[in-house]
Chain A
């Protein structure tokens, strides 16, 4: 069984509106999956629901992480199992520095991994790891002492999301539109960072509208997501096809023009 396995997963909002209408997906360590689809197709809703956002409910199907159903778990418990979401719009936490936040989050996860006993990361080790990861992602050092995402540029926020991924070492990382709002240099840095973090311990699900991030982090599997469903699957070549031809081929014509005008 894959590490993250979705079987006919449906997701609805609190008012009952169904956004995700039956998704099957399997992500294992070492694999990079791309979930590509037009705006409004429900990609981000799926990401939120998997991470445990209270406003997005998994209403039916199975969402298994390491064989365990996660639908009823809190976001913190899912994170502790090794699931991670890089946010499209990370939230600011005024008054809490990046360093202090990262250390708290890391210690929370270490505590669970140590069977519930406090196991705080030694400060020198933490500092060394963090500075190395920051340098790798070309994040200026001063950012470590700034308040988390408070007044950060779009690019800084996205890089700090990947910094969190590097420090927390999740087993499956979902990256929600991590490429949006990045210039080409930032995109390269972020994509390369993600690529390096995926390995025998970690798999990734990259959610994106465009193909361009996939130039730097080549997916093993591409899933085309339209109107709450995966409508086509293939290898990296599918991404190139989408780039050339758009999503129209996968959508009934009237709906396509409607969602374009809404986008």
Chain B
């Protein structure tokens, strides 16, 4: 199974340089700034049904009415009037390879990112699908009744299903940035897995990525029906260079009774990006939801994947890694809300800060009255690599039920001189020794990643420790 996946991914890497152009025939330009006219125009441009147009406009009202959050990181510098909220894909591209910051190029070279992928990441060219692989996957999925489309196509082709769930897990007024996404969303994935279907291969945005897919305001909706299973993987470990300074996605997931969903994210944003993402899942009776969330880079990341345990016996897990380097603030964690009895959750957070970076764990554990017999364990470990860096922990716990089993552990450690000396006495350089300690520190999470991502993740940590990545 794993080898098949690797072969296919490997296949894509070699195949897609022979790919062909995807004629994204868009002639729409929004200009900078946000207005009702713009939001209406986006909806019209996409030929959306009236309910979606209204949803977007209402969301904009909520966005405008809400103040900026005063917790988390410093959001005051975001210039909302100077952002393109909707741009046709070709306009997102940097003009040429030469326009890219040298550190980004250097990192891609050292990660051995194939040329075509570099072009895509740089935004200097479109990503081409490997038609053969993608069509085979698509046929297999279709035969099982699985829907896997970009969100815009999902809305066009499966409007009833989208309408039933869209915005139900994360209401449009949930928070300021969810409201913004609800107003101007574009791209993202739509997935439906019918009852009892086990999607064996992880679904990767990779397979059908186009310039639109990695937009600023992508919107993802995943519905896993009863006793079904899917693993969705987004992102890649190479730093995504974006001239867009604001990335604000919304991901909604519904896991019906007995179903299981794992959602894996690995993202490494360039240093100018505000990454403000709302991710929430609901898990019904005996369902399992797992978020695996690895965040590197960005100027500020605020992201707390949440799981609402709605049915008895539901289980949720959040595994998160945050790596904050110089001039970076990562405020990340997870939320588990126990609504039904005998539900269980585990939140494991590992944060690393170096070079003056700041990594914070922020998490919520809530057990509602009546959720008796519930169990939860929260473990957050921080590793601080130098004196200039910072780590904070903000664990919020609200328990309204007495018959529960709750555990919370937090550790903060520094790479010890003794540990480094021990490793260096075996011939490893200081950077190699530090990278080894860091890789070991995040190992409980990287071992949950698909193999090729885990390998890239470790290579990236090595590069970070050599200080060659900004």
A75 interface hit (Cβ, 8 Å) = yes
Chain A residue contacts of B418, Cβ below 8 A = 91
CB-based nearest B residue for A101: B436
A74 interface hit (Cβ, 8 Å) = yes
Chain B residue contacts of A75, Cβ below 8 A = 421, 424-425
A79 interface hit (Cβ, 8 Å) = yes
CB-based nearest B residue for A89: B418
Among A52-60, A62-70, A250-258, the stretch that binds chain B is A52-60
Q: Restricting to B426-470, which residues have a CB under 8 Å from any CB of A?
A: 426-430, 432-433, 436-437, 439-444
Q: Give the docked Cα–Cα distance between A85 and B419 (Å).
A: 14
Q: Restricting to A42-87, which residues have a CB under 8 Å from any CB of B?
A: 51-55, 74-76, 78-80, 84-85, 87
In the complex the two chains form, is B425's CB within 8 Å of A91's CB?
no
B20 interface hit (Cβ, 8 Å) = no
In the complex the two chains form, is B427's CB within 8 Å of A54's CB?
no
Chain A residue contacts of B426, Cβ below 8 A = 79, 101, 105, 108-109, 164, 168
Give chain A nearest CB distance to B349 CB in angstroms: 15
In the complex the two chains form, is A105's CB within 8 Å of B427's CB?
yes
In the complex the two chains form, is B419's CB within 8 Å of A104's CB?
no
In the complex the two chains form, is B441's CB within 8 Å of A51's CB?
no
Chain A residue contacts of B443, Cβ below 8 A = 94-96
Q: Give the docked Cα–Cα distance between A112 and B427 (Å).
A: 9
Give chain A nearest CB distance to B167 CB in angstroms: 40
Interface centre among A84, A101, A108, A168 (most CB of B within 10 A): A108
Chain A residue contacts of B442, Cβ below 8 A = 95
B18 interface hit (Cβ, 8 Å) = no
In the complex the two chains form, is B424's CB within 8 Å of A74's CB?
yes
Chain B residue contacts of A109, Cβ below 8 A = 426-427
Q: Give the docked Cα–Cα distance between A101 and B429 (Å).
A: 13
Chain A residue contacts of B428, Cβ below 8 A = 76, 104-105, 108
Interface centre among B426, B428, B444 (most CB of A within 10 A): B426
B164 interface hit (Cβ, 8 Å) = no
In-complex Cβ contact of A96 among B416, B421, B429, B439 (8 A) = B439
Q: Give the docked Cα–Cα distance between A96 and B421 (Å).
A: 16
B422 interface hit (Cβ, 8 Å) = yes
A93 interface hit (Cβ, 8 Å) = yes
CB-based nearest B residue for A95: B440
In the complex the two chains form, is B425's CB within 8 Å of A85's CB?
yes
Q: Give the docked Cα–Cα distance between A55 and B416 (Å).
A: 13
Q: Give the docked Cα–Cα distance between A185 and B7 (Å).
A: 49
In the complex the two chains form, is B441's CB within 8 Å of A94's CB?
yes
A22 interface hit (Cβ, 8 Å) = no
CB-based nearest A residue for B440: A95
A210 interface hit (Cβ, 8 Å) = no
In the complex the two chains form, is A79's CB within 8 Å of B427's CB?
yes
Chain A residue contacts of B429, Cβ below 8 A = 74, 76, 108
Chain B residue contacts of A96, Cβ below 8 A = 436-437, 439-440, 443
Return the 5 tightest CB-CB contacts between A and B, nearest first: A95-B440, A95-B443, A105-B426, A96-B440, A75-B424
Can you list 17 contacts pairing A with B, beta carbon distance less than 8 Å? A53-B421, A74-B429, A74-B430, A76-B427, A79-B424, A79-B425, A84-B425, A91-B416, A91-B418, A91-B422, A96-B436, A96-B437, A96-B439, A104-B436, A105-B426, A108-B432, A109-B427
Residues of B within 8 A of A (CB): 416-419, 421-430, 432-433, 436-437, 439-444
